[in-house]
Homo-oligomer: A and B are copies of this chain.
Amino acid sequence: MSALQILQRDPGSQARVGVLRVERGEIRTPAFVPLATKGTVKGLEAREVAALGYDMVLGNTFHLFLEPGADLIAEFDGLHEFMGWRRPIITDSGGFQVFSMGHGTVADEVKGRAPAGPDRMGRVLQIDEQGVRFRSYIDGSERFMGPETSMEVQAKLGSDIALVFDECTPFHVDREYTARSTERTHRWLDRCLAWHDAHGPREQLVYGIVQGGVHEDLRVASTEEVAARPVGGIAIGGSLGAEKPQMYEVVGWATAALRDDDRPRHLLGIGDVDDLIRGVELGIDTFDCAMPTRLGRHGVAIAPDPENRWRVELTGARHKHSREPIMEGCPCPACSAGHSRGYLRYLLKNRELTGVRLLTLHNLAYLARLMAGLRAAIAGGTLAAHAAALRAGAAP
């Protein structure tokens, strides 16, 4: 039985509204999932993220594995207790991060030793069927992560939803590489499921990850391979294309192949406003992305302005004298307190933490409302009109 209860389907698209039930509670879907990469949504406390209306956050297996380590978090009874977030948590597998370290070398598969010594993300030393050996960016020590390691770490973190360890196939590789990489991802999927079956927490859902790059047959085949396993949900990962239309096409291949599958679907690393709207129409249930929090740290606010990609750069000189809030009528802590664009610009230009925080709160509040509005529209049978209004610049 699927953990996702679908309450209503949109007649004009593949969108569905539902409730995803996991160990620690319920997630109203479709939902955006903020990143708590290193055990905190940057700058916010758990209670604030909950107050914004979020049901789930995403923890990062790779970073937490290196620091403070899964054993320490297990000692604190898992990630929920460690970070004081007692609602659902999904953990990524670490696959994306370990393969990101090897950018450029991944394409040639095992290229042998990269230059030693840690940089910002560490260094890949070797990639083979077993997994990935790399140097930690924390202390330069040699570490290993493979399918079993990833599942073991996620078991110790105690997340509600674990993602299997995959190779996040880069965009610039050829079809042949993508096909081989996707096949290995499927073999790793089986190893992850075997480990979890033998050792994993019963109550933890495990999502498989669809790869296959931008090749329709590979994507469809990967979707079918993953769906054929007893996974609790299906995540769509890897390269989704260079442009948004291609991304939508690639996601559509996967969700079309899952048309009769009621299990929850997660789209990895996507969070732009237009992408969330289209993703919902394509039948995605949950999304995660660094975008809203990262934009906030760089002084960019989300606003209902499609012509500027729903973005306002508050550090711009044109806001210096502005007494307007980021967005009229917005109930977020920054706008409802009456903070002006001029004040926020001043804070951001002077790198004051308060400015970063106010923008992070605004951006996450925006996406929470966007998703709540999309859920209400699906439930009310008005998704097409609602999506059209959003695309024309309506407030969420």
- Give me the interface of A with B, judged by CB distance under 8 Å: 38-47, 67-68, 72, 75-76, 82-84, 320-321, 323, 333, 337-340, 342-343, 346-347, 350, 352-358
Contact = CB atoms under 8 A, between A and B. Distances in A.
Given A76-B343, A82-B342, 12 more contacts: A38-B350, A39-B343, A41-B354, A43-B353, A43-B354, A45-B337, A45-B354, A76-B323, A76-B340, A76-B342, A353-B353, A353-B356
A158 to B, nearest CB: 15
22 contacts: A38-B352, A39-B343, A39-B347, A40-B355, A41-B354, A42-B352, A42-B353, A45-B333, A45-B354, A45-B358, A47-B337, A67-B350, A72-B320, A72-B321, A72-B342, A76-B323, A76-B342, A83-B343, A84-B343, A353-B353, A353-B357, A357-B357
A314 B232 CA distance: 40
Contacts of A321: 72, 75
Contact of A338 (B84, B333, B352): B84
A357 B333 CA distance: 16
What is the interface of chain A mostly: helix, strand, loop, or mixed?
Answer: loop
Contacts of A44: 354
A64 to B, nearest CB: 10
A340 B321 CA distance: 43
A23 to B, nearest CB: 20
Given A338-B84, A346-B68, A354 B42 contact: yes
B357 A43 contact: yes
A46 B339 CA distance: 10
Given A68-B346, A84-B343, A352 B76 contact: no
A338 to B, nearest CB: 6
A337 to B, nearest CB: 5
Contact of A82 (B42, B47, B343, B355): B343
Contacts of A333: 45, 47
Nearest to A82: B343
Contacts of A43: 352-354, 357
Contacts of A357: 43, 45, 353, 357
A175 to B, nearest CB: 40
Contacts of A68: 320, 346
Nearest to A86: B338
Contacts of A46: 337
A92 B45 CA distance: 32
A257 to B, nearest CB: 40
A183 B6 CA distance: 80
A40 B355 CA distance: 9
Contacts of A40: 347, 352, 354-355
